[in-house]
Amino acid sequence: MTISADRNYPLGIAMLLASGFFLGTSGLALRSVEAASGWQILFFRSASFVLLVFLVLLIRRKGRVTADFRHLGWDDLLLALCLGLGFVAYVFALLHTTVANALFVFSSAPFFAALLGWIVLRERVNWTTWMTIAVSVLGLAIMVKGGVSRGHYVGNVIALWIPISYAISVILVRRSSAVDMLPALCLAGVVATGLSAVFAEDLLLTIRDLGIAIYLGVFQLGVGFILLILGARYVVAAQAGILALVEPVFASVLVWLAFSETPAGSTLLGGGIIFLAVILHSIVTITRTRSA
């Protein structure tokens, strides 16, 4: 049976599109903050995310979650640290560069994962993926160079950590012996919460900023990730890669409409190159999969 004939396929598509919608609201939410600092927003975003994931764990495991955390290995703990630092970088990248620039940098993550998989796990990388990686690196270079010339170099450097941390996380997940990765995801939120608690001057927020931070943790990050994990079960990886581009496009359009944040020419050029590379690579992969 082909995937298009699977009765869950439309549900998977809907979940991934909804995931892109929730994840793509990050820029709009952060641009709406009144006075809170990045560390303050990050604390409440991460804390509410931890509570949501822990609640999901309690429901799934019927209250028996102690063993799940006790059986985490070193790779799982390293995964939690890496993801936690990624959560921190995500917020500060969006605060220090344009939303379009940051999110199109993020969209290169699958190719960093392929490259690191080849280096660490010795996984075979076909020539089309190598070509796509090369084209994506060109797009990244154009965006980063343009950002440096406009004084956004800090945000661009921070943004580059996101696809790298994602790639490391993918490798660690592949090497992990854990059946359920939710405990590690929960610990990643704890890492981000702990770091923000240390560096935040205080945790006093206005009602508006507190609401935005909780929305980011529960809906933008929490619901967005849950829908992504559930939807990816019913859609082939290449198609999921195409649908993942909903996030940067939707986020950029939202911020442009709400705050007139127009992407620079280098962002549009570099992001367009990455966008086109992902789509062409996904089409080739889907064609090969169906032929096989």
Is 70 inside any structural domain?
yes
Q: How far from 72 is each of 51, 59, 77, 79, CA to CA, in Å?
A: 19, 19, 7, 10
CA distance readout (Å), 228 to 25, 170, 215? 15, 15, 17
pLDDT per residue over 128-138, tens digit each? 778 877 887 78
The number of distinct structural domains making up the chain is 1
Residue 21 lies in a domain: yes
More confident residue, 61 or 148: 61
Tell me if 226 is assigned to some domain.
Answer: yes
Going by C-beta distance under 8 Å and a sequence separation of 6 or more, which residues neighbour residue 80? 72, 184, 185, 187, 188, 190, 191
Residue 85 counted as domain residue: yes
The domain in which residue 141 lies consists of: 10-291
Tell me: pLDDT of 162 over 80.
yes
Neighbour count for residue 216 (Cβ, 10 Å): 26
**pLDDT confidence of residue 288:** 72
Integer Cα distance of 235 and 244 in angstroms: 12
Whether 79 and 188 have beta carbons less than 8 Å apart is answered as yes
For CA atoms 186, 188, 192, 29, the dihedral sign is negative
Mean pLDDT of 77-102: 88
Does residue 5 form part of some domain?
no
More confident residue, 252 or 26: 26
Residue 42 above 90 pLDDT? yes
pLDDT confidence of 146, banded at 50, 70, 90?
low
Contact 53, 189 (CB under 8 A): yes
Give the containing element (helix H, strand E) for 164: helix 153-175
Give dist(CA 133, CA 114) in Å, integer: 9
Task: Identify whether 2 is part of a domain.
Answer: no
Q: What's this model's pTM, rounded to 2 decimal places?
A: 0.81
Tokens of 239: 């198609």
Is residue 3 assigned to a domain?
Answer: no
Instruction: Judge whether 1 lies within some domain.
Output: no
The H or E element containing residue 139 is: helix 127-149
Q: What is the mean pLDDT of residues 92-107?
A: 82
DSSP codes, 44-61: HHHHHHHHHHHHHHHHHH
Q: What is the pLDDT of residue 46?
A: 96
